[in-house]
């Protein structure tokens, strides 16, 4: 006969297992709710600067709006992948821009941490450190790496959110105009809201040099709202993705092979004076061998 203590332990374990399963289900629902058609407002403002240069000029406040289609491209038990597409221009003849991608991996231990100068350090995390957590991996428009971080989704008081801090390259709006810092320490909060979802950011502009302590140049606030609208408004973006999904499947597959090497990664800024996304956005690059070759040419040996 089982003793009462063993019965109680078995009962606690069973309840805990059901609780973990229910929690993961809520996590997956929250992540997948970021899919669909959204009217997006991107807000960025430099809030504080710590420069010792009396001529320092803060970045201008940026407010941009547009339609964004978030397509669910992978829906597995431990992996959810969402491709974002911007739909801009005239509603009658919209122009589609392949935007960022976010992959969500459950209890993932393999992480690429950005380390400035277009290089990432591969890290193997202890399994105990990521128990119950989801890694968000964010990729550039050409599916090259951007930033990654692991945290738990929180569901409390009617709210669902995920928070994390991760080092990242400069955003496009900055690296084309700024050269006085080389890393963004991103504070990211993804919160599911009544209108859709919110990407709330508290970022730090950092100067990182080998062998020296990081220098904080300025602080920045990002507040991006994704307001859900009828999917029909993003029909052009959805159709574009359907037409181009085969090519970008090849691109992702090649990058997966690169990431699968599980070692530090450094990328060229340009090859033959041309950045990677300009090669891949060219419709002439549509064959598997061509795509694999051009991506590999950007990987430093």
Q: Which residue is listed with tokens 């990729």?
A: 139
Could you give the CA distance from residue 52 to residue 48 in angstroms, rounded to a whole number?
A: 13
What residues have CB less than 8 Å from 194, skipping those under 6 apart? none
In percent, the amount of the chain with pLDDT more than 90 equals 88
Closest CA to 225 of 39, 45, 29: 39
Q: b vs e for 282-300, b when ≥16 Cβ sit within 10 Å of the residue's Cβ?
A: eeebeeeeebbebbeebee
CA 279 vs. chain centroid, Å, equals 22
- Do the beta carbons of residue 103 and residue 137 sit within 8 Å? yes
252 — pLDDT class (breaks 50, 70, 90): very high
What SS3 state is found at 54?
Answer: coil
Calpha distance 44→42 (Å, rounded): 7
**Which of 5-14, 269-278, 281-290 comes out lowest in average pLDDT?**
5-14
Closest CA to 279 of 168, 177, 143, 159: 143
What is the number of alpha carbons within 13 Å of residue 300 lying toward its C-beta? 11
- In sequence order, what E strands does the chain have? 36-49, 62-76, 79-88, 95-106, 110-114, 119-124, 134-139, 145-151, 153-156, 159-168, 183-192, 196-207, 215-229, 265-266
Residue 261's Cβ-count burial label (10 Å; 0-12, 13-18, 19+) is exposed
Distance from CA of residue 276 to its chain's centroid?
18
* Angle 208-214-215 from CA coordinates, rounded to 5°: 95
Average pLDDT of every residue of the chain: 94
Distance, in Å, from the CA atom of 25 to the CA atom of 276, rounded to the nearest integer, reads 37
Predicted structure pTM score: 0.92
pLDDT in tens, 173-220: 998 899 999 999 999 999 999 999 999 999 999 999 999 999 999 999
The pLDDT tens digits of the residues spanning 88-110 come to 998 889 999 999 999 999 999 99
How far apart, in whole angstroms, are the C-alpha atoms of residue 123 and residue 145? 14
Q: What is the pLDDT of residues 31-75, one digit of tens each?
A: 999 999 999 999 999 999 999 999 999 999 999 999 999 999 999
| 3-class secondary structure per residue, 207-220 | ECCCCCCCEEEEEE
Q: Fill in the DSSP letter of residue 59.
A: P
pLDDT at 233 over 80: yes
Taking each helix axis as running N to C, give the angle between helix 288-298 and helix 235-259, from 0 to 180 degrees, rounded to the nearest 10: 60
């Amino acid at each position: 006969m089982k003793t009462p203590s063993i019965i109680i332990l078995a009962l606690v374990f069973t309840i805990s297992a059901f609780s973990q399963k229910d929690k993961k289900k809520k996590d997956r629902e929250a992540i997948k709710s970021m899919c669909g058609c959204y009217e997006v407002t991107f807000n960025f403002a430099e809030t504080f600067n710590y420069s010792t240069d009396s001529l320092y000029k803060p970045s201008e406040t940026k407010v941009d709006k547009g339609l964004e289609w978030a397509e669910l491209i992978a829906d597995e038990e431990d992996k959810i992948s969402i491709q974002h597409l911007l739909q801009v221009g005239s509603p009658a003849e919209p122009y589609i821009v392949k935007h960022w991608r976010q992959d969500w991996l459950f209890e993932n231990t393999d992480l690429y941490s950005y380390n400035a100068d277009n290089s990432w350090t591969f890290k193997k995390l202890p399994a105990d450190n990521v128990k119950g957590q989801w890694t968000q991996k964010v990729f550039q428009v050409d599916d090259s790496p951007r930033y990654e971080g692991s945290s738990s989704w929180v569901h409390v008081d009617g709210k669902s959110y995920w928070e994390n801090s991760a080092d990242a390259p400069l955003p496009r709006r900055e690296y084309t105009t700024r050269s006085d810092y080389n890393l963004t320490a991103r504070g990211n909060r993804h919160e599911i809201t009544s209108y859709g979802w919110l990407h709330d950011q508290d970022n730090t502009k950092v100067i990182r040099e080998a062998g020296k302590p990081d220098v904080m140049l300025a602080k920045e606030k990002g507040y991006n709202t994704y307001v859900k609208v009828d999917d029909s408004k993003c029909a052009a973006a959805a159709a574009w993705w359907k037409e181009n999904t085969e090519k970008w499947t090849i691109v992702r597959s090649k990058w997966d092979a690169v990431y699968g090497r599980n070692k530090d990664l450094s990328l060229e800024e340009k090859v033959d004076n041309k950045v990677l996304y300009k090669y891949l956005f060219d419709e002439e690059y549509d064959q598997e061998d061509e795509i694999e070759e051009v991506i590999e040419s950007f990987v430093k040996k």
